[in-house]
Amino acid sequence: MGRHVRWLIFILALAIFCVWVALPETTGLQTGVNEDGEPQYLFKVQQSLGLDLVGGLRVLLEAELPPDAFTIEDLRETANSVSRRVNALGLTEATVQIQGNNRILVELPGLHDPQQAIEAIQQTALLEFVDFTGLRGYDLEGEHILTTEQLKLLEQRGLDVESASEEAMLNPLTGQPFETVVTGAGLQAASAVFSPTRPNGQPEWHIQFSLKDEVAQEFADFTERATGEPMAIVLDGEVLSTPIINGRLEGTSIITFGQQSLPGESPLETARRLENQARTLALQLRSGALRIPLRVVSAENIGPTLGRENVEPSIRAGVLGVLVVLTFMFVYYRVPGIAADLALIVFILLNLAVFKLIPVTLTLPAITGFLISIGTAVDGNILIFERIKEELRAGNDLDQALQLGFERAWTSIRDSNFSTIIICAILFLFGQTPGAAIVSGFAITLALGLIINLFTAVLVTRTFLYVLVGVLRSSLEKRQWLLGV
């Protein structure tokens, strides 16, 4: 008896701990409050929810280069640039992960404008200031040109220089690629600025930037030499604008770009588009050029509506299902049923706490896996209780029946759970394929449920049952129907 009471105390303490972890939205040891009045935590856990529940964007990007043209270091640097761009979008729980040796997975929960985000992430953003000496009077804005810097990158990446130079324009004066003066890598700072009063009377957006010390001198010298000549500002090979250099440029300068409205656009729409364009460009320049150009290989965007539509019914269905199971166990097995129901509640609390602590990201399939594990969690109890009933019918007394029931059912419970756990492991591995990631959540919650169940169905149920039997012994021995016989 003493042993069971000790277990009972342990289980109750565990259950209370689980309630403390699982129920509040944010659990932790609060150590104080910061300047903004937000609580600070020493140890903090929060349930993370998948994109299908909160809405958002998941994009898988793949290097647009042959595998031998870049190193893992380049990929890491590219992921860092992507990460800086994503953070600048102002999202709180964005994640950027490298997958395999040529892919980057980006997850942006709560994002509203997927296309703009993909654009902001994906642009290579190779910015160049290009020498256009002697080209005054040529209208090259919007043209794709080939520069010395681009040639250098093409060679580095082992790409075909010939075909690239056929597509892009060469310097009409020399027949050679244009001369790059400085690239975006030399930028110190860049921001989108709105100037309401331009000399021509039209308000416009432009990019204000300053250069790092290493290249500032070079740039100043060049602008001094080429005063009166045009200079091209080129982004990803496309000529954005060709301002005429007024004199030696030092300190902060600006980049202007085409500001025309598109056909059929209202002035407000034009203003909004230009603002977006300026902000995106400034962001890309700040976060640096991507070392590796990326293409989207799969994308998933879930609107916030679908997320909301999914969560509530699933939780309602889960609660309803659990209530039916609890009722069934009580009606069918009586006193042991009460023990099983208590164990099932401990099982659910343990699972919820473990999801938060590991942490497991809850998606719809993950919730389904958890619900199914609840449905099958009572299997262990049923095996034991059926065994106990048999032993009682065979004429054993109550204590013997309980002991034999738990002993003999154990191998069945262990072996039978094991086959599903193996399947879960295989499914989890299958879910590591980028296109099947949704499967992992299901496999993890189902497997966790089965493992936790090995503990609750046997140990926790036994403790509750022995304590109940200890209290109700005399009536149970007289009325065997209370044991479901």
Partner 1 sequence: MFNIVERRRWYFLFSALIIVPGILIMIYSTATTGAPFRLDIDFVGGSNYSFQYTADGPTEGDIREVFRNLTGDEVIVQQRGEPSEHKWSVTAGFYDNDTQEAIRESLAQLGPLDEDSFNFESVSATIGHEVTQAAIAAVIVATIVITGFIVVAFRQVPNAFRYGVCAIAAMLHDILVVMGVMSLMGIVLGWKVDALFLTAVLTVVGFSVQDSIVLFDRIRENIPRYLGEPYEMIVNRSIWETIHRSLATQLNAFFIMIAILLFGGDTIKQFIFIFFVGLLSGTYSSIFIAVPLLVSWEKGEIPFLKGSGTLHQDAEFAEA
Give yes or no for residue 299 binding partner 1 (CB under 8 A).
yes
Both tokens of 375, joined, read 């449905």
Q: Which is nearer to partner 1, 171 or 417 (CB)?
A: 417
156 phi/psi in degrees, rounded to 5: -55, -40
CB 209 within 8 A of CB 190: yes
Least distance in Å: CB of 414 to partner 1?
10
Give yes or no for residue 261 binding partner 1 (CB under 8 A).
no
Give yes or no for residue 329 binding partner 1 (CB under 8 A).
yes
Least distance in Å: CB of 62 to partner 1?
8
Q: Which stretch binds partner 1 (CB under 8 A): 110-118, 182-190, 235-243, 452-460?
A: 110-118
Give yes or no for residue 265 binding partner 1 (CB under 8 A).
no
Least distance in Å: CB of 322 to partner 1?
8
- Residue burial 369-388, b: 16+ Cβ < 10 Å; e: rest: bbbbbbebbbbbbbbbbebb
Site string for partner 1, 66-105 (x = CB under 8 A): ----------------------------------------
Least distance in Å: CB of 107 to partner 1?
14
Specify the 3-state DSSP secondary structure of 37: coil
Least distance in Å: CB of 405 to partner 1?
12
Both tokens of 312, joined, read 């509530």
Q: How far apart are CA 120 and CA 294, in angstroms?
A: 12
Give yes or no for residue 266 binding partner 1 (CB under 8 A).
no
Per CB under 8 A, contacts with partner 1 among 154-183 are none
Candidate list 300, 396, 400, 455; residue touching partner 1; CB under 8 A: 300
For residue 227, the Cα-to-chain-centroid distance in whole angstroms is 50
Least distance in Å: CB of 356 to partner 1?
22
Per CB under 8 A, contacts with partner 1 among 268-297 are 295-297
Kindly tell me the sign of the dihedral angle through the C-alpha atoms of 401, 406, 412, 413.
positive
Per CB under 8 A, contacts with partner 1 among 356-385 are 364-365, 368, 371-372, 374-376, 378-379, 382-383
Give yes or no for residue 28 binding partner 1 (CB under 8 A).
no
Q: Which is nearer to partner 1, 211 or 446 (CB)?
A: 446
Query: For 47-199, where are the E strands, in sequence order?
Result: 56-63, 95-99, 103-109, 127-131, 179-183, 187-195
Specify the 3-state DSSP secondary structure of 244: strand
35 burial (CB, 10 Å; 0-12 / 13-18 / 19+) is exposed
Give yes or no for residue 322 binding partner 1 (CB under 8 A).
yes
Site string for partner 1, 421-460 (x = CB under 8 A): -xxx-xx-xxx-xxxx-xx--xx--x--------------
Give yes or no for residue 17 binding partner 1 (CB under 8 A).
no
279 phi/psi in degrees, rounded to 5: -65, -45
Q: Which is nearer to partner 1, 84 or 273 (CB)?
A: 273
Give yes or no for residue 111 binding partner 1 (CB under 8 A).
no
Give yes or no for residue 52 binding partner 1 (CB under 8 A).
yes
Which is it for strands 204-211 and 252-255: parallel, antiparallel or unpaired?
antiparallel
Least distance in Å: CB of 180 to partner 1?
27
User: 210 has which bridge partners?
Assistant: 189, 252
Both tokens of 202, joined, read 């039209």
Q: How far apart are CA 136 and CA 37, in angstroms?
A: 59
Instruction: Tell me if the bond preceding 359 is cis, omega within 30° of 0.
Output: yes
For residue 34, the Cα-to-chain-centroid distance in whole angstroms is 27
DSSP H/E element including 29: strand 26-33
Site string for partner 1, 119-138 (x = CB under 8 A): x--x----------------
Least distance in Å: CB of 65 to partner 1?
15
Candidate list 6, 112, 136, 272; residue touching partner 1; CB under 8 A: 112
Q: How many CA atoms lie within 13 A of 228 on its CB side?
A: 2
CA end-to-end span of the chain? 24
Q: Which is nearer to partner 1, 50 or 288 (CB)?
A: 50
Least distance in Å: CB of 77 to partner 1?
22
Both tokens of 357, joined, read 């602590």
Nearest to 101, CA basis, from 83, 120, 78, 122: 78
Per CB under 8 A, contacts with partner 1 among 402-421 are 408, 411-412, 415-420
Give yes or no for residue 33 binding partner 1 (CB under 8 A).
no
How many residues interact with partner 1 (rule CB under 8 A)?
Answer: 78
